[in-house]
Amino acid sequence: MSNESSALERVYAESSEFIILGLTGRTGSGCSTAAKILAKNEIHLPEESNIYKSKNDKRKYKIVRSYIKENWMPFISIQMRVVITGILLELSFDKLTKLVASVLNKDISIITEELSPFKEKYNEAHNEVVNYKKLPETNSLEKNAKKDKAWSIYFSYLPEFCAEFKDTLQEKLGADSYTALYQQVGDNIRASGEADSIEFNASKIFTLPKIVNKLIKVIRIKNNNRAFVTIDAIRNPFEAYFFHQRYSGFYLLSINTPNEERLNHLRKSHKFSEEQITALDKKEYPEKLSGKDIYISQNIQKCIEISDIHLNNPDRNEFNNNELSSQLFWYVSLILHPGLITPTSIERGMQLAFSAKLNSGCISRQVGAVVTDNNYSIKAVGWNSTPEGQTPCLLKSASELLDGGEEAVYSSYERTDKNLQNVMSCTYSGVISSENLKGRKIPYCFKDIQNKIEGEKNQVHTRSLHAEENAFLQIAKYGGGAIEGGFLFTTASPCELCSKKAYQLGIKKVIYIDPYPGISKEHILSSGSLKPDLILFRGAIGRAYHRLYQPLMAYKDELKMLTGYIVNDGSIEKTDSEKVKELEKRVAELEHQLNYKK
């Protein structure tokens, strides 16, 4: 290997020796399935994948398939439920039964009786964990010994115990008992650092990711610093933030499944009742979080929103999972070798929508949308914000309004209505001078204020256009050609009002990231004779789009370094080192011929 090719391998090693994939998604979407696929020692991919339809995408898949087969290394999974179990086991058996009774709202005597056959096993695990956490770390030998013990505990002992504990809970206390318990314990740990306390302590919000971070270091030591790691699964966005800030090799992957398929999977495989599914979805997809709940509660919707890579898991085949596998290996290949292939048409469209959403002046949620024709040619771009000429909410100020407000910025209703002024004063006058603001302004949501006055929850009072309708209106305003049969990309998914507009315009495909919490799909988009196709987005987005598809160097230069050949003026030339070898070989042949003649 030449010095040039050695240097190239060294450069790629920086991105290929240490990868962390955080997995997120709703229960039943397939995070654990993805972790199992990535943990396989050998990969088996079909010659072609059903999810890649265009000729170019099929060729890209073949390139990726060839590359990953030559460069595969299995991932080691850190299971978040195992980390939670390690903290749960700090409780005595009596404290455990008290906690379970509280979470499941059952009499403690019933819980104690049902779990009593598991008591001996639990106490054994309790002692194992407590003794491990008491191990000293005063010198390097002790630290290494504790890391060895951590490997044994978290990657062998606790996963087996956790599986037995789950089976026991579900058999004795109901199909949803394990999920309900671990969801609450997860919230407790984020709040207090302890399994049985929800009392909020701001210094403890990163307890779970800090333990995971220690386990990542254990894995790196075990693998001489080369390690591929999955975290199954991240359920609070601040956990993802923790790893994004620490590791350049961290990517958050959301595993998404069409909702009806996910629900059927929960009913069939998890044996959940409709009531249990409703409670699960309410926990994972809370309507609105505020205060400390933002830091401690599960918020899968936000995790999906901030994900770097979105994958679909539609086939549900327990034997191969080819569609999910092909997507996983596509993006692992790009992490190992950025720029190996180019983005898909769907990724290009959604990346534009993702970039557009950053223009939004909404203080609740930013959404972007792009409209294309059926060849993916861009016709319009939109984001949720106020009409052109009006000031976005982010640039308004409660204190300015209470001081009179500029006529060009604040409406006459805002400046003169006594009810609104009273609500604004009661809401904001006490916090405008707060020292915690540290220079921040206090914008306000007019919709929230007006709904407070009327005692309603009315979306009509929003000052912003939705991203999708804004994109549609750009076409009406400036022109841009017909879009019937075209595609709509949205970083959320259209509400009922925007869905009706899309339907009327003849949109053929709606590509979305996260479903809107309403009935737009069932009531509008899935009805009639011209209903559009609804497609869950799959692909890299945001900074991951640039990181994965931006080559480290021109591919032509890379091949030159690896092979020693270049193309110049239509003829193939060899590098100097190759020419020297050819000359040496020719000299040897001539000497041999000369000696033979003598």
* Over residues 235-262, mean pLDDT: 93
Model confidence at 287, pLDDT cuts 50, 70, 90, reads confident
Of 252, 266, 288, 269, the closest CA to residue 25 belongs to: 252
Contact status, residue 446 vs residue 414, Cβ threshold 8 Å:
yes
* Domain residue ranges of the chain, discontinuous segments joined by +: 76-307, 350-385+464-537, 393-461, 564-597
Rounded Cα–Cα distance for residues 192 and 150 (Å): 23
Which amino acid does the sequence have at 210?
Answer: K
Residue 318 pLDDT > 60, yes or no?
no
Beta strands in 13-121 (DSSP E): 18-24, 76-79
Q: What's the helix, strand, coil split of the chain in %, to 5?
A: 55, 10, 35
| pLDDT score recorded for residue 572 | 57
Residue 517 pLDDT > 70, yes or no?
no
Contact status, residue 86 vs residue 158, Cβ threshold 8 Å:
yes
The residues, any chain, with a CB within 8 Å of residue 211's CB and separated by 6 or more, are 83, 86, 87
Rounded Cα–Cα distance for residues 320 and 318 (Å): 6
| pLDDT score recorded for residue 575 | 61
| pLDDT score recorded for residue 583 | 74
Q: Of 231-245, 248-262, 346-360, which gets the smallest average pLDDT?
A: 248-262
Residue 506 pLDDT > 80, yes or no?
yes
Which amino acid does the sequence have at 56?
Answer: N
* Over residues 459-471, mean pLDDT: 93
Of 250, 205, 210, the closest CA to residue 230 belongs to: 250
Which amino acid does the sequence have at 299?
Answer: N
| pLDDT score recorded for residue 173 | 96
Half-sphere CA count of 508, side-chain side, radius 13 A: 11
Rounded Cα–Cα distance for residues 364 and 553 (Å): 40
Residue 427 pLDDT > 80, yes or no?
yes
| pLDDT score recorded for residue 257 | 86
Q: Of 77-86, 322-331, 355-364, 479-488, which gets the smallest average pLDDT?
A: 479-488
Which tens digits make up the pLDDT trace of 8-22? 888 888 777 899 999
pLDDT higher for 2 or 70? 70
Which tens digits make up the pLDDT trace of 339-383? 999 999 999 999 999 999 999 999 999 999 999 999 999 999 999
* Over residues 502-525, mean pLDDT: 86
**Nearest 5 degrees, angle CA 398-CA 401-CA 402?**
85
Alpha carbon 241 to its chain centroid, in Å, reads: 11
| pLDDT score recorded for residue 285 | 86
**Nearest 5 degrees, angle CA 303-CA 305-CA 311?**
85
Of 62, 83, 72, 85, the closest CA to residue 37 belongs to: 72
Residue 241 pLDDT > 60, yes or no?
yes
Rounded Cα–Cα distance for residues 120 and 125 (Å): 9
Neighbours of 503 (CB within 10 A): 19
Q: pTM score > 0.95 for this model? A: no
Residue 252 pLDDT > 60, yes or no?
yes
| pLDDT score recorded for residue 1 | 58
| pLDDT score recorded for residue 451 | 93
| pLDDT score recorded for residue 47 | 87
Helices (H), 177-231: 177-192, 207-222
* Over residues 322-333, mean pLDDT: 94
Contact status, residue 237 vs residue 299, Cβ threshold 8 Å:
yes
Model confidence at 452, pLDDT cuts 50, 70, 90, reads very high
Query: From 3.40.140.10, 1.10.20.10, 3.30.565.10, 3.40.50.12780, which CATH number describes the 350-385+464-537 domain?
Result: 3.40.140.10
Model confidence at 563, pLDDT cuts 50, 70, 90, reads confident
Contact status, residue 467 vs residue 382, Cβ threshold 8 Å:
yes
Rounded Cα–Cα distance for residues 464 and 457 (Å): 16
Residue 518 pLDDT > 80, yes or no?
no
Which tens digits make up the pLDDT trace of 148-178? 999 999 999 999 999 999 999 999 999 899 9
Model confidence at 586, pLDDT cuts 50, 70, 90, reads confident
Per the prediction, the chain carries an average pLDDT of: 91
